[in-house]
Amino acid sequence: MQEHDNSLNITVYKLSEEASYTKLFHSYREGETLPSGKALREVVELCRSILFPGYFGKARINAETLRYHIGVHVETLHTQLSRQIYAGLCFSDTHCESCTDRSRNEKAAQLAETFIATLPAMRDTLATDAEATYRNDPAAQSPAEVIICYPGFQAIVNYRIAHELYKLGIPFIPRMIAEMAHSDTGIDIHPGAVIGDHFSIDHGTGTVIGETSVIGNHVRIFQGVSLAGEKLPPDENGNTVRGVTRHPILEDYVTVYSNATLIGPIRIGRGATVCGNVWVTSDIPAGQMVKQWTK
């Protein structure tokens, strides 16, 4: 090893030069931490344990002791989520001089509380998603199989959690939760998308639902489907324009089959069907079907 030390020391020197690291360096203030992927995985696990009692979490649960378990899980969720939201606030807002640690800590605790208050309604919506997934897939043997095994349902759970956090204006955390599901399932739903009830995604690998997509109720999507954004011209200063509506709208009861690509702020009418491998860039009237030309 000793013979390599000189070369290694030269590299250490180069990598420690300010000119080298300045573009890729993040500088902290006292007491700040990074949002943690590992902690957010636990946050999602806690949400799952609360939403689906008996399916996730280690302990045996029965109706009598259910409240004890939910009580402990909710309290733990509040503590851990507050910490991650705080980390996200610090990370995105490194120049706010007026906001002290204490006020940010309090803001994070308040946001976590507001999020937790959405869980009962979220559970109701997820019950419709589980039911729709089971009804739509002839290979499913029970709703329980959907809740435990289906990647599409897993991605929808993460999306619904991330979306509520996104609506509260929390930075970073929603995207990290969405990317967890993306990594595990290959399904990439942006937390900003708006999605109705009875939603199902089958197989799902490669599916992308962009930031400003709007999806109605009873919509069904397959693997490899893209709801993609229109490319926008830069603004007068040459900067990327952000936050503009640029993704498709799918009305109720739409079905999109595998590997179809829908681009731009187009409208797919109620009950329309988009067949597999099609490239769609304009509106489709209600009830119609679009197909690729094949042999």
> Where in 220-259 is the site for a second copy (CB under 8 A)?
222-224, 226, 228-229, 232, 240-244, 246, 257-259
Q: Mark the segment that binds a second copy (CB under 8 A) among 17-25, 162-170, 264-272.
A: 17-25
Q: Does 291 bind a second copy (CB under 8 A)?
A: yes
Total number of residues that touch a second copy (CB under 8 A): 140
When binding is defined by CB under 8 A, the residue of 43, 90, 188, 199 that contacts a second copy is: 188
Return the residues of window 29-48 that contact a second copy according to CB under 8 A.
30-32, 34-35
Closer residue to a second copy in complex, CB, 72/194: 72
SS3 for the chain is: CHHHHHHHHHHHHHHHCHHHHHHHCCCCCCCCCCCCHHHHHHHHHHHHHHHCECCECCCCCCCCCHHHHHHHHHHHHHHHHHHHHHHHHHHHCCCCCCCCHHHHHHHHHHHHHHHHCCHHHHHHHHHHHHHHHHHHCCCCCCHHHHHHHCHHHHHHHHHHHHHHHHHCCCCCHHHHHHHHHHHHHCCEECCCCEECCCCEECCCCCCEECCCCEECCCCEECCCCEEECCCCCCCCCCCCCCCCCCCCEECCCCEECCCCEEECCCEECCCCEECCCCEECCCECCCCEECCCCC
CB of 9 to a second copy, least distance (A): 7
When binding is defined by CB under 8 A, the residue of 39, 168, 266, 275 that contacts a second copy is: 275
Return the residues of window 159-178 that contact a second copy according to CB under 8 A.
171-172, 175-176
Map residues 108-137 to x or -, x wherever contact with a second copy holds by CB under 8 A. -xx-xx--xx-xx--xx-xx--xx--xxxx
CB of 45 to a second copy, least distance (A): 12
When binding is defined by CB under 8 A, the residue of 45, 186, 217, 271 that contacts a second copy is: 186
